[in-house]
Structure 1
Amino acid sequence: MGSVAAMLTLVAVVEYPSGAEAAGQHYEDTVLALLGRHGGELERRLRGTDGQCEVHVIRFADRAGYESFLVDPERAALRAALGEAAPNTRVIEVHEV
């Protein structure tokens, strides 16, 4: 990965609409596999015990990689195909303390 100064670390809190957990988990499986093409890496993936949410710790070599991931056409098409069943995601930029 890139230099420590350029590296971007994110925590994503992903919540699935009720009744759409399986579709949301499949979506996450698929889009997380796209990270590498944008210089990203999934460090941790944790699922809530109720199956309603996940927490991801993701690193990108730089901000440009994250921005290119956000507009990846395959990712956008997958999300659009889910419609109302798409997960609701909050992304938090973090750093080590």
Structure 2
Amino acid sequence: MAYLSQVRSEGKQYIYLTEYCGRQPYTAKTERHVYGFGNSRIALLKMKRWLRKYDSEFPEQLIELGYTENDLREWIETVETGITKNGRKFKITTQKRAVY
């Protein structure tokens, strides 16, 4: 079971598909990123394109991991509404450009 997560780096926000993997030897991490959707500004656009052209555009890596069109629809809904299917907040912050 995977969920969307966010990472902020150098003022940009990135969206990842993350899986819980439990305790692992030699690390304190209990989860791992299995796919990076990229910058939050383009992630939703990318997902919607995959939905329109699911058979040809959906990444093979995600298919091999067992994710389907229904999962993709849930991810899109999470990003659009800012709420996960479990009711948790998932807010995408859009960075405003400075006007000089």
TM norm structure 2: 0.29
Greater per-residue strand proportion: 1
| Greater RCO (Cα-Cα under 8 Å, separation 6 or more) | 1
Q: Name the larger-Rg structure.
A: 2
TM norm structure 1: 0.29
